[in-house]
């Protein structure tokens, strides 16, 4: 018996002193829709209340030079999920084109690494029964809009859930009783509760404040009558049934902020906050919305132009990350980064295997190890026929293949007010060469439309 007892004692001691392997961290990525660089209090907003996101920034890190993948939703999400910038990606403008089988996504990568995967909101990478549907691209669970056009309404009569059409009878025949964002908030909380033992990857592609201006009355109450409203604006009754675009837009953003706070509170309640990386960003810049933004709210902050354009206002977006105990509270980063960096970052965080794309992991910056951060030399964006490229602080922009190239020094001119192209032709030539080398031709999204040959009579 003594040898047996001796072995058991040694085994017990080994268990006690052996290091316990940490559980893989959970990842939650939250994406707003058409939220501008200046729409959060932590980025200078003075009129709209965003206390929970501002607190998240105070508890984590705020990036001031982060870019979306494109200036509109469909291609921007393609960059995010595939890790390939718009010069290499399959989708380069809003369209019905789905991802194809060879387009490996973040959700597939995380699922392959043993993560439970889920999402809500606007997918826009492939509709039902296509090769780009969420349940084909690695999502164990998904509730939301597949089509970005249907996502213009906050009171749809149906959504898609796990491959099946989910009817919303309360919204049939034009009724407006169930607010889609509220369904997404509840599904997010439910998913986290059910997968609290982890690891999980959750993608909350919220549709606020995109398209239709509509919000439940309990949120509108905070802003009703707070500001003068435009007397007329395009498609008022269709676009903003409540006829108060400024108050409604602010209330929408505050409601979204509240529900993000509920997610963060749940992580604390479940005691998994320290093992959960939470990120927040926007898919592109703001859009003119019936006098509500960005003119009134200064939604693009100091940046030039809006959604659909490759000036800074169309692609530079807020980006906040929180990971208690890992990310230093109140940090700010000037690292230039974009959506293509998310796939390698999530791979390094989780131990997953990523395909080689255009991004670089920003985990060193998140952890405060700036000296270890590999920096990308060149950033490229495309929204046919537009092109833009950034190298260091220099950025060039061309609105069409035959248009003149514009040159800006972002270190001194974040608003892109002074075009230096005429005075610096050598710099323009250098960056133009890089710009053309940074893309592959796309038959679906050519930079220039080919002229049709005239038939001979």
Q: Residue 60: pLDDT above 60? A: yes
Mean pLDDT of 343-359: 96
**pLDDT tens string 163-212:** 999 999 999 999 999 999 999 999 999 999 999 999 999 999 999 999 89
User: What pLDDT, on the 0 to 100 scale, is given for residue 316?
Assistant: 98
What is the pLDDT, as a whole number, of residue 457? Answer: 40
2 band by pLDDT with thresholds 50, 70 and 90: low
What integer best gives the mean pLDDT of the chain? 93
Q: For residue 26, give Cα distances in angstroms to 7, 123, 134, 393, 443.
A: 38, 21, 19, 34, 38
pLDDT at residue 6 in the model: 56
Rounded mean pLDDT, 217-227: 97
Q: Where are the domains of the chain?
A: 26-377, 385-437
Choices 3.40.720.10, 3.20.20.150, 3.90.1300.10, 2.60.40.1890: CATH for 26-377: 3.40.720.10
Q: For position 15, what pLDDT does the model report? A: 46
Report the alpha-carbon distance of residue 36 to residue 253 in Å, rounded.
Answer: 11
pLDDT at residue 41 is higher than 60: yes
Output 115 or 454, whichever has higher pLDDT.
Answer: 115
pLDDT higher at 8 or 216: 216
56, 362, 365 from 369: Cα distances, Å: 20, 10, 5
pLDDT of residue 450: 61
Tens of pLDDT along 259-301?
999 999 999 999 999 999 999 999 999 997 666 778 899 999 9
| Residue 204: predicted pLDDT | 98
Q: Quickly count: other Cβ atoms within 10 Å of residue 356's Cβ.
A: 9
Residue 55: how many other CB atoms lie within 10 Å: 17
pLDDT of residue 89: 95
pLDDT at 236 over 70: no
Query: Whole-prediction pTM value?
Result: 0.94
pLDDT of res. 18: 47
Residues 6+ apart with CB under 8 A from 136: 126, 130
CATH 3.30.930.10, applies to 385-437: no
**Nearest by Cα to 342 from 311, 323, 366:** 366
Per-residue model confidence (pLDDT) at position 295: 84
Determine the 3-state secondary structure of 21 from DSSP: coil
Q: What is the pLDDT of residues 127-137, one digit of tens each?
A: 999 999 999 99
Q: Residue 40's closest CA among 319, 388, 261?
A: 319
In the prediction, which pLDDT does 455 show? Answer: 46
Find the mean pLDDT for residues 18-36: 86
Give the alpha-carbon dihedral of 341, 346, 352, 353, to 10 degrees.
-10
pLDDT one-digit tens code per residue, 62-104: 999 999 999 999 999 999 999 999 999 999 999 999 999 999 9
**Band of pLDDT at residue 23, cut at 50, 70 and 90:** confident
Q: What is the pLDDT of residue 290?
A: 62
Q: What is the pLDDT of residue 425?
A: 98
């Amino acid at each position: 018996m003594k040898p047996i007892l001796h072995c058991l004692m040694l085994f017990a001691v080994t268990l006690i002193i052996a290091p316990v392997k940490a559980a893989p961290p959970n990842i939650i990525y939250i994406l707003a829709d058409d939220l501008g660089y200046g729409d959060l209090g932590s980025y200078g907003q003075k009129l709209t209340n965003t206390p929970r996101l501002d607190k998240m920034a105070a508890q984590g890190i705020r990036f001031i030079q982060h870019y979306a993948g494109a200036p509109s939703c469909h291609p921007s999400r393609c960059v995010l999920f595939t890790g390939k910038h718009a010069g290499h990606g399959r989708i380069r403008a809003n369209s019905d084109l789905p991802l194809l089988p060879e387009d490996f996504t973040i959700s597939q990568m995380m699922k392959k690494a043993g993560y439970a995967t889920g999402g809500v909101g606007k997918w826009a990478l492939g509709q039902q029964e296509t090769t780009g549907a969420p349940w084909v691209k690695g999502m164990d669970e998904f509730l939301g809009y597949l089509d970005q056009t249907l996502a213009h309404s906050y009171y749809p009569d149906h959504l898609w859930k796990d491959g099946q059409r989910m009817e919303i009878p309360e919204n049939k025949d034009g009724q407006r009783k169930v607010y889609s964002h509220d369904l997404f908030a509840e599904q997010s909380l439910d998913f986290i509760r059910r997968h609290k033992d982890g690891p999980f990857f959750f993608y909350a592609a919220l549709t606020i404040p995109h398209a239709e201006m509509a919000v439940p009355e309990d949120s509108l109450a905070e802003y009703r009558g707070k500001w003068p409203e435009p007397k007329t604006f395009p498609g008022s009754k269709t676009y903003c049934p409540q006829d108060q675009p400024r108050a409604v837009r602010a209330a929408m953003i505050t409601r979204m902020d509240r529900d993000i706070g509920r997610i963060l509170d749940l992580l604390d309640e479940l005691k998994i906050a320290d093992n959960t990386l939470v990120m927040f960003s926007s898919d592109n810049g703001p859009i003119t919305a019936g006098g509500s933004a960005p003119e009134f709210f200064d939604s693009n902050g100091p940046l030039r132009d809006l959604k659909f354009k490759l000036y800074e206002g169309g692609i530079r977006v807020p980006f906040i990350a929180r990971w208690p105990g890992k990310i230093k509270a109140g940090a700010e980063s000037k690292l230039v980064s974009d959506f293509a960096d998310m796939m390698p970052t999530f791979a390094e965080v989780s131990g997953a295997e990523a395909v080689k794309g255009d991004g670089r992991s920003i985990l060193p910056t998140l952890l405060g190890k700036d000296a270890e951060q590999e920096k990308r030399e060149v950033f490229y964006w495309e929204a046919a026929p537009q092109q833009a490229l950034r190298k260091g602080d220099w950025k060039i922009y061309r609105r069409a293949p035959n248009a003149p190239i514009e040159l800006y020094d972002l270190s001194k001119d974040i608003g892109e007010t002074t075009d230096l192209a005429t005075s610096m032709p050598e710099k323009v030539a250098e960056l133009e060469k890089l710009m053309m080398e940074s893309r592959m031709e796309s038959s679906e999204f050519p930079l220039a439309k080919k002229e049709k040959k005239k038939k001979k009579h």
